[in-house]
Amino acid sequence: MTATDVRLQPKKKGLTRRRKRSLSRGVQYVVFVAAVIAFAVSADWGRLKNQFAQGSIAKQMFPDVITLALKNTVLYTLSGFVVGLALGMVIALMRLSSVGPYRWLAGVYIEIFRGLPALLIFIFIGVAVPLAFPGTEIVGGTYGKVALALGLVAAAYMAETIRAGIQAVPKGQMEAARSLGFSPARAMTSIIVPQAFRIILPPLTNELVLLFKDSSLVLFLGVTLEERELSKYGRDLASTTANSTPILVAGLCYLLVTIPLGFVVRRMEAKAQEAVK
């Protein structure tokens, strides 16, 4: 197409599209290289290495950083995900209900919990709930509190995702199910929802990644040594050793999980895209 343009209008003044494009690319490379050089020159590599990459400190973190901290992070995330999924499912169905007050309640929930920082919810669960209901214990101790706090936040996002997934299932599916004698509820659970989940698997996995990072907010609940997850563990160790290497190691542990998950999401999205074609 570019070639045709050039042939048709050889005398047009200024740059051809092809030359404009390569010029723009060239400029971008120059800026990039300049930035890298500026960073490399200005950073104090010796101090950075001292502060963030002390081999002996890193070694001292194993195996606890995996067997305790990463394990707890995963546990917190999964329990929050399960609570979020169950609650999100209920809220999504309420949002699609023919009963007005249900729709309204679900809408209010979604707006509130999407609008609040997760941090506030953690503080609320950690401080306000015990104050308001003295003597009550949230089942499961810290694990229960984290599952609840993460679940409350996740449910708001998941509800919207699940609702979109349910609405993306063609109308004919419900009609076919109803014409076979399925009740509306049974058609929903055995025909519509399973298809909806196939559609929303990528965004749900994304939500898992977000929860994985949000689990670091456990910090604000006050946890025992045994209950520490990656962020708290890294920070505690950083202050006892007066060195930031544990932060770097903890960070790498997060990436160990989030990068493969992100890869899986992109794979699923690409596959779904292909299926549409």
Partner 1 sequence: MSEQPAPAGPEIEVRGLRKSFGDNEVLRGIDLEIRQGEVVCVIGPSGSGKSTLLRCVNLLEEPTKGQVFVGGTELTDPDVDIDAVRRRIGMVFQQFNLFPHLTVTENLTLPQRRVLRRDKAAAAKVAAENLERVGLSEKADAYPASLSGGQQQRVAIARSLSMGPEVMLFDEPTSALDPELVGDVLAVMRVLADEGMTMMVVTHEMTFAREVADRVVFMDGGVIVEDGSPEQVIGAPRHERTRHFLARLLDPAMAQVEEETSDQVGGSG
Stretch of residues binding partner 1 (CB under 8 A), selected from 105-113, 127-135, 175-183, 222-230: 175-183
162/223 with CB nearer partner 1: 162
Q: Does 124 bind partner 1 (CB under 8 A)?
A: no
CB of 121 to partner 1, least distance (A): 35
| Strand ranges inside the chain, DSSP E | none
* Rounded alpha-carbon distances, angstroms, from residue 28 to 25, 34, 36, 37: 5, 10, 13, 14
41/276 with CB nearer partner 1: 276
b/e sequence 198-229, b meaning 16+ C-beta within 10 Å:
ebbbbbbebbbbbbbbbbbbbbbbebeeebbb
- Identified binder of partner 1 from the candidate list 8, 24, 172, 225, rule CB under 8 A: 172
CB of 182 to partner 1, least distance (A): 6
CB of 157 to partner 1, least distance (A): 24
99/180 with CB nearer partner 1: 180
* Rounded alpha-carbon distances, angstroms, from residue 33 to 23, 39, 139: 16, 10, 55
Q: Does 173 bind partner 1 (CB under 8 A)?
A: yes
56/179 with CB nearer partner 1: 179
Residue type at 192 in one-letter notation? I
111/175 with CB nearer partner 1: 175
Cα 130 from Cα 124, distance rounded (Å): 9
Going residue by residue from 176 to 195, which x/- string records binding to partner 1, judged by CB under 8 A? xxxxxxxx--x---xx--xx
CB of 195 to partner 1, least distance (A): 5
249 neighbors 65 (Cβ within 8 angstroms): yes
CB of 179 to partner 1, least distance (A): 4
Name the token pair of 253.
Answer: 């542990």
Stretch of residues binding partner 1 (CB under 8 A), selected from 28-36, 37-45, 84-92, 174-182: 174-182
Dihedral of the CA atoms 66, 68, 74, 75 (nearest 10)? 160
41/185 with CB nearer partner 1: 185
Q: Which helix (H) or strand (E) holds 219?
A: none
Q: Does 205 bind partner 1 (CB under 8 A)?
A: no
Provide the 10 A C-beta neighbour count for residue 97: 14
150 neighbors 209 (Cβ within 8 angstroms): no
CB of 80 to partner 1, least distance (A): 27
Name the token pair of 44.
Answer: 């104090």
2/190 with CB nearer partner 1: 190
CB of 191 to partner 1, least distance (A): 6
Q: Which residues bind partner 1 (CB under 8 A)?
A: 170, 172-173, 175-183, 186, 190-191, 194-195, 198
